[in-house]
Amino acid sequence: MAIPRLSSLLRWRKLAKSDWLVASIGFVLFVFLLSFFFDPTSDSVPSVDRSPPIASPPDLVKLTLSSKAKERGAFCLDGSLPGYHFHKGSGSGSKSWLLHLEGGGWCSSIASCSARAMTMLGSSTYFEDEVDFQGVLSSDPSLNPEFFNWNRVKIRYCDGASFAGRPEAEFKNGTRLFFRGQLIWETIMDELLSMGMSDAKQGILTGCSAGGLATLIHCDYFRDHLPKDAAVKCVSDGGFFLNVPDVLGHPTMRSFYHNVVNLQGVEKSLDHNCVAKPEPSTCMFPQKFLNNIRTPVFLVNPAYDFWQIQHVLVPASPNLDKSWAKCRLNIKECDAAQMKVLHGFRSSMMDAIGKFHQNKAGGMFIDSCYSHCQTLMSATWHSPTSTRIENKTIAESVGDWYFNRKPVKLIDCPYPCNPSCYNLNFT
């Protein structure tokens, strides 16, 4: 059955102001619900543990299907054309470009990729005609003070391998699946370069979740294709996935990435120094290649990332202790023993970014919220009630780092110390 266009479902223009933020949260989570690796028991839009601020009117930007994709063979999983949403910059931002790579999980088998190909995460047939630009994409200077007038682009995700799949991995037995993520990335980059990005003075590549991982994978490619004198940096949001065993001792995420890499031929898109070593699929984990990236990188990540807790640390399983059922969906339901495990997960993240912490060009904002993807919504990116560390919002922190005003290495104290967090509740 076809999935209706989300713009029709949400009917943005008819929403009251108090509903816009709730709808935007619903959109972000709708994308996650469609991804293969999302918990099927979480069938409702989550709530937040404190009242969100009044959101600004929607900033709707039209979809453009790539004009170069067909001739390049850059197709979504189902063979449809990939696309993006482009908001032209103005004034002081006319020579500055910010590209956002959409996220939404991965697919690791013929069955899961075939299912994904019938959603907006695998086919442009289901893309919305317009999307709301919020957070780092917003054109409102009060909500996006540093980048509001830049050229801003949201690149849609329809390949299932963090824009890194390769066509040589496709099946030749009539299976109609296209593994063209790398081609999609290169094709849309070429298109944007021809639209003025080749003259950029400033550039940022960013992305959320699987798009945050893609940001790290393609960061140096982005740098190398912009002018040498341009100030170019990368911001990964919720993309620092950990290679840790789950609570049952199983290597759930490592096995999953192994299947993604083998199915879609991702190996050639990963860090060459890393994949020269045994088991190339471990090079999907940023800890393995982050310090090899030449371009300055900023990490935005919650230490208690709800997606990773629900799918990496405590994935749904018939063998899982039922006491985890509520905890994994609402951090406030965790008992002392479970919190000890979650604090251990935070410690694993601190260990994984330990060497990067010494990188003078790098920056980070590691909060202690039960959240995921915090740059895309104004409530968490920059507003009077946004999440803060040392009284700085994520937007202020990224701005200080990007414009070299000061070093930014912000790491929050352990949960539940930060009252400014928007903690999601899936129960």
pLDDT at 33: 41
Decide if 71 is inside a domain.
Answer: yes
**In whole angstroms, what is the distance from residue 30 CA to residue 137 CA?**
19
Give the tens place of pLDDT for each residue, 73-94: 999 999 999 999 999 999 999 9
Please tell me the pTM assigned to this model: 0.90
Q: Does the pLDDT of residue 262 top 90, yes or no? A: yes
Decide if 127 is inside a domain.
Answer: yes
Residue 182: which domain range? 6-10+17-425
For 34-88, list the strands marked E by DSSP: 47-48, 60-65, 83-87
Average pLDDT over residues 6-12: 34
**In whole angstroms, what is the distance from residue 253 CA to residue 74 CA?**
28
**What are the CA-CA distances from residue 303 to residues 151, 183, 247, 260, 409 (Å)?**
31, 33, 17, 25, 14
Decide if 327 is inside a domain.
Answer: yes
Decide if 75 is inside a domain.
Answer: yes
What is the percentage of the chain residues whose pLDDT exceeds 90? 82
| CA dihedral sign of residues 232, 392, 20, 6 | positive
Helices (H), 124-194: 181-194
Decide if 277 is inside a domain.
Answer: yes
For 133-280, list the strands marked E by DSSP: 151-155, 202-208, 231-237
Decide if 1 is inside a domain.
Answer: no
pLDDT at 51: 67
Active site residues per annotation: 209, 305, 372
Residue 288 CA, chain-centre distance (Å), reads 18
Give the tens place of pLDDT for each residue, 366-388: 999 999 999 999 999 999 999 99
Residue 250, classed as helix, strand or coil, is: coil
What residues contact 244, with CB distance under 8 A and at least 6 apart? 253, 312, 313, 345, 348
For residue 174, count other CB atoms closer than 10 A to its CB. 5
Give the tens place of pLDDT for each residue, 221-250: 999 999 999 999 999 999 999 999 999 999
Decide if 40 is inside a domain.
Answer: yes
How many structural domains compose the chain? 1
Decide if 171 is inside a domain.
Answer: yes
